[in-house]
Copies of this chain bind each other. A is one copy, B any other.
Amino acid sequence: MVSDQVTRRVRRIADEMRYHADPFAYGLKTKRSFTIGVLIPDLCNPVFPPVIRAVERTLGEAGYIAILAESDNHPEQARVVLEKMKARRVDGLILATALRADHLIAECVEEGLPVVLVNRTVDGDGVVCVNCDEFEGMRLTVGHVAELGHRTVAHIAGPQFLSTGHDRYRGFLRAMHERELAADSSLIRFCDAFSEEAGRAALEALLDASARFTAVVAANDLLAVGCYDALERRGLACPRDLSVTGFNDMPFVNRFEPPLTTVHFGLDEMGSHAARALLDLLDGNAPNAESIRLAPRLIVRESTAPPPSGGSPG
């Protein structure tokens, strides 16, 4: 109802005067903050920066900003932080911290707060998730070590209360079965965190036990580099004495010693998908893809090799 030209002129002058609609007044009236809460376990895990970056970009293009917080892997910390975000009147949430059975999420959903999970899923449905196809990732990994000639392969599993830990564990079992390899339960160790420290401890425990194995499939890259540490402490070499694989292909693992064989998927892609799904929710549309599952790809580097001929280190 107003000419384009006038619109432009007004816009220009508004810019010149550096006028911005006051977000407080706007929000007070409309209850919208154009702010999204993004909750991750740990910023210093190199997996997250690429996804956060993609999330912030995608959100930013739509006029939203993200407020970032870490849970430090503590559910009670997650609760505190979530409460703060709600107090800040966030319009929606992107969570990378979800437990498999997470009442915090159920709560948000009940309150009608749009939520998207990234790199996590939750048991049951009703909440949009974007993650990697963990089963396929494990199939690729196990296939690779099997083809290298490994028959006894160990698994350093992640926390089973996290979907990534649980799905990769189940994926490992299934893939072993498909390859007709025995998944000896004494060759599986569960970690209570996705950390280098936990990975090191788990592999040391495995090496201390009498069982023999020539390859170890870790549930993520951090766990895998923890395995490097365990090997170093024992004076063993990777991949000469033991092949190790990771999951995530986080930045820089290609430069590690040895460069890590791992499962790659688009971390930035994961972030932008998640943000877009949330924007859909925010627009009141059901997101066009209910849950998004990214295709993984195995990146073979130098941490895997055929098994040593003279036996195993275990």
> How many A residues touch the partner, as a band?
35 or more
Residues on B with C-beta less than 8 A from A251 are 44, 46
- Does A225 lie within 8 Å of B255, measured CB to CB? yes
A149 within 8 A of B: no
A266 close to B (CB within 8 Å): no
Which of chain B's residues have a CB closer than 8 A to the CB of A255?
Answer: 225, 228, 255-257
In chain B, what residue has the closest Cβ to A46?
B46
Q: Which of A47-55, A92-100, A128-136, A169-177 contacts B (4 or more CB under 8 A)?
A: A47-55
Q: How far is the CB of A267 from chain B (nearest CB, A)?
A: 10
Q: How many copies does the complex hold?
A: 2
Q: Nearest CB to that of A31 among chain B residues?
A: B24
**Among listed A67-75, A112-120, A140-148, A159-167, interface-contacting one:** A67-75
Interface string of A6-43 (1 = CB under 8 A from B): 00000000000000101111011001010000000001
Inter-subunit contact A70/B56 (CB<8 Å): yes
Interface of chain A residues 229 through 261 with chain B (CB within 8 A): 251-252, 255-259
Can you list 13 A-B contacts (CB < 8 A)?
A22-B89, A23-B27, A23-B87, A23-B89, A24-B25, A24-B28, A25-B28, A43-B53, A46-B49, A60-B84, A65-B69, A228-B255, A255-B255
Residues of A at the B interface (CB closer than 8 Å) are 20, 22-25, 27-28, 31, 33, 43-44, 46, 49-50, 52-53, 56, 60, 65-70, 84, 86-89, 225, 228, 251-252, 255-259
